Amino acid sequence: MPFNVFEIKKFSISDSVSLPTRDEIEEKYKWDLSHIYETDNKWEEDFIWVEKNISNYKKFEGKLSEDSNVLLECLQFDDSIGMKIDRLHLYASLAKDSNMKVFKYQAMDERILNLATKVSSAASFIRPELLEIPVEKLKLLIDSKNELKVYKHFFDDLLRTKNHTLKKELEELLAQSSEITQVPYNAFSMFTNADMKFPIIKDDEGNDFEISHGRYYTAMYSLNRNFRERAFKNYLSEYKNYANTFSVLFNGNLKTNIFTAKARKYNSTREAALDRNNIPVSVYDELIRSANINFKPLHRWASLKKKILKLDELHPYDVYVNLFQNGPEKKYSFEEAKEIVLKALKLLGEEYLSSLKKAFNNRWIDVHETQAKRSGAYSSGTTFGIHPYVLLNWNGLLNDVFTLAHEMGHNMHSFYTGNSQPYPYANYSIFLAEVASTFNESLLLDYLIDNSESKIEKLDLMEKYLSNITSTFYRQVMFAEFESSVYEKVESGIALTPDLLCKLYRELYQKYWGPEMIIDEEEDYTWTRVPHFYYNFYVYQYATGFAASEALVKKVKEEGEPAVKKYLNFLMSGSSDYPINILKSAGVDMNSPEPVLAVTKKMDYLLNEIETLIE
């Protein structure tokens, strides 16, 4: 079947060097934000409602210990404000990401961040005031009113963090600073997505090719090595040109997080970040330790790539190219991809598939790459009372099919959580966030391997699995080790110059990929372009999530319906318990090393299978 990159009325990618505008994309491939607010004016009405009601926090201040009715009214009022803020933020951020050059939505996004800061400041008395109530009295208040029992886990978690909650005045001060602390990431995002201009180069057929974030990744899969090298060097050279600017933004982000951790009396920024979800620092340390003693599979993979590609030297721009393609890489329309994903996830039952179809058929997804649209892909997470949305930048490669499965894993996790939990728990921790997404990817890969029609197709799919392990496990552990290293240096008073950041990144890249990898200077600047480094110890959870999902897939395949039921209950659990406990209920113990080590063992198994097939 012929493939059309964009199924639209006026545009074909072959007609233009430039990306299409948003107006050139059919409506069915754009998310429908009217599900959140029918018009911008409706958004304004809720914005004004929140502004007018912020002052009502005052009537609860100093009175939370009086009786259970006041306590309940305060918590429910805070929830009602939170629901509005979440909804306002969702609309503004999605509208902004649709076209980052529309100043109106940039302004709306800034306004809601400012309003959220005011709300946070007004509500900042709640936690410290609750912690001033003697524990026994607080328990009596909770037990005396049935409606308060829904907040039991909230109170348990509050008491757990008592030593890191400050007095009311200091909490208010920290809340007021939140808008400032977001500046480094906001500046990074705006600069890289809207202001940076990448050069036009020749593609693998000699045509002009305007590099973008999405097209860079497409180029890395090209079979034409010269084109890969040109795209790699031209893309990263732009980041190198602004290394000083990125260094200032990066250091600013580190220092804001260090400031907050110190203010809350944590021993380190990493401890502070992990404590939000009650994750022991030992989990992070064990992840890095176990990866460092299990580099052999990754080094084997590098050696095998070099051998099959018949290269004298393996470079970073050779990492993604497919080894076993039989002719040009197959392309997929978005419609084809949806059908493949539905078939791959059939094991999860009709209820899950029905929810997935609802998302596909009701414009929850923004599909194609357009001018000034935010790069990458994401799912918007849970917004109480509103379905989650997904952003894609579709290029039609197999990797895009996996991205769809991945983001719909997030999407369904948010959808099930939002439909199953009350507002206080209608979200899930970052630690759990990557489990459902990589779970879907694993099922998709198994489905495609099982339905492969030739040895070369099977080899190609096994390579895909290895690439998943490389990018979702090893690469993220490498990022986690880099992040830990840079924080330790800043916390000990060492200045992070661009040269030092490049050196640190290069050393880790060499260690992980091993002696076969020859590192180009441009790769040293990858630290400048990773948005997740602004998320404060986020990336390690890709690796732990990948390991947990591998264990869950194994259980679902071996145990059938009972394991599926446990998995769906996992999707519904939200933040009703600590993430370690939620995973344990699903059948995975993250306090043991087995889930992580299972990934490296799976990689060894796949390498053995590939080597057998190519003999």
Contact status, residue 75 vs residue 60, Cβ threshold 8 Å? no
The type of residue at 331 is K
Helix ranges (DSSP H) in 161-196: 168-181, 183-190
User: Which residues are paired to 201 by β-bridges?
Assistant: 209
Strands (E), 325-402: 365-368, 378-379, 390-394
Q: How many CB atoms lie within 10 A of CB 103?
A: 9
Give the three-state DSSP class for 32. Answer: coil
Which residue from 75, 83, 84, 85 is spatially nearest to 150, judged by alpha carbons?
75
Active site residue 407: yes
Q: How far is CA 540 from CA 191, 394, 573, in A?
A: 25, 26, 22
Q: Which two tokens stand for residue 263?
A: 């203010």
Cα–chain-centroid distance for residue 120? 24
Q: How many CB atoms lie within 10 A of CB 487?
A: 21
CA distance 203 to 186: 32
Contact status, residue 116 vs residue 85, Cβ threshold 8 Å? yes
- Per-residue DSSP letter, 383: B
CA distance 588 to 586: 6
Q: How many CB atoms lie within 10 A of CB 303?
A: 16
Nearest-5° Cα angle at 357, 568 to 440: 45
Among candidate residues 407, 481, 483, 522, the one labeled active-site is 407
Which are the contacts of 336, defined by CB distance < 8 A and separation ≥ 6? Answer: 1
Contact status, residue 552 vs residue 587, Cβ threshold 8 Å? yes
Give the three-state DSSP class for 94. Answer: helix
Q: How many CB atoms lie within 10 A of CB 463?
A: 20
Q: How far is CA 287 from CA 527, 596, 600, in A?
A: 21, 7, 12
512: phi then psi, degrees, rounded to nearest 5: -70, -45
- Per-residue DSSP letter, 363: T
Give helix 430-450 / helix 540-559 axis angle, nearest 10°: 50
CA distance 158 to 128: 9
- Greatest C-alpha distance within the chain: 77
Q: Which two tokens stand for residue 544?
A: 């732990």
Look at strands 200-202 and 208-210 and give their pairing. Answer: antiparallel
Which are the contacts of 401, defined by CB distance < 8 A and separation ≥ 6? Answer: 332, 337, 340, 341, 444
Positions marked active-site: 407
